Structure 1
């Protein structure tokens, strides 16, 4: 596998681990100020989108199907497989937690605090304490999506790199 695949996959996996760690921190009491700034979600989503799209292009360029990619993934070193599997388990657990928890959207407008009310289908004004209680949950969903996309991109790039390596090995014979 070429070094660009290794770097791309490593950056995606490392970034995914950081974003997933931030998502896990949303359950820790007292970390609300960490998630208060508006830049937290775009800082996770934009790189995840860009890395994910470039991984998608690399997979398309290999012209292989899912079964070939799965076989290529199985040819990766055991530590790489275990690391990606562990990150995938974290994504799955976070997704289950997001589905079971209260992840309503919250925002601040003109010094007032608002949260999405599903029954009224609109944003309603809430107390600051309720806003602070809902804030980590609202960020958790987007951090989990970003982390999942990064882990998936890492898996895809490393598998595509193995397919390319195997194709070159066959072509050299």
Structure 2
């Protein structure tokens, strides 16, 4: 596998690990000193879009079916496979643990010293206490971090599998 695939896959895996770990840290008591949701969302989009788009482009340009991609992934060293599996399963566990935690409230925001969130059942904005606002904000951040973390891990999977397919097409012995 070429060095560009290793670097790209490594960057995606590290960003996925950071996102998933930050999502798990939001489960700790108290609030994390994370940037406001809009800043965090912008950062995730700026980082996620090019990493994920190029990973998928690399895989699509190989023109292979899913079974061959899975076989290529199985050729990757076991520690890398295990690390990506732990990150993916950890992210999925976070998704299931977070389902319905704050019920019908999302998109918390502060305006003029008052706190609001969108209520999906009432289809409108409702006023909240500061404590409830913090809980909704943390849930929003947790779900955003989890989704981006799982997407980064998926990008790492795609890039590393594409790298193994490229190596196999060239007939080069595996570098372990």
Q: What TM-score results when the alignment is normalised by the length of structure 1?
A: 0.91
Contact 1:19–1:44 (Cα < 8 Å) also in 2? no
Query: What SS class does the counterpart of residue 135 from structure 2 fall into?
Result: helix
Contact 2:37–2:137 (Cα < 8 Å) also in 1? no
The more displaced of 149-158 and 132-141 is 132-141
User: 1:19 is matched with which residue?
Assistant: 19
1:19-54 deviations in Å (ceiling 9; x for gaps): 111111111112343354631222223211221011
Query: What SS class does the counterpart of residue 64 from structure 2 fall into?
Result: coil
User: 2:67 is matched with which residue?
Assistant: 67
Q: Distance in 1 between matches of 2:33 and 2:9?
A: 31
User: 1:98 is matched with which residue?
Assistant: 98
Residue ranges of structure 1 left out of the alignment (5+ in a row): none
More helix by share: 1
Query: What SS class does the counterpart of residue 22 from structure 1 fall into?
Result: helix
User: 2:161 is matched with which residue?
Assistant: 159
Of 104, 113, 126, the residue aligned with 1:124 is: 126
Residue ranges of structure 2 left out of the alignment (5+ in a row): none
User: 2:87 is matched with which residue?
Assistant: 87
Query: What SS class does the counterpart of residue 59 from structure 1 fall into?
Result: helix
User: 2:113 is matched with which residue?
Assistant: 111
Contact 1:49–1:149 (Cα < 8 Å) also in 2? no
| Segments ≥4 residues shifted beyond 3 Å | 35-38
Q: What TM-score results when the alignment is normalised by the length of structure 2?
A: 0.90
Q: Alignment RMSD, CA only?
A: 1.6
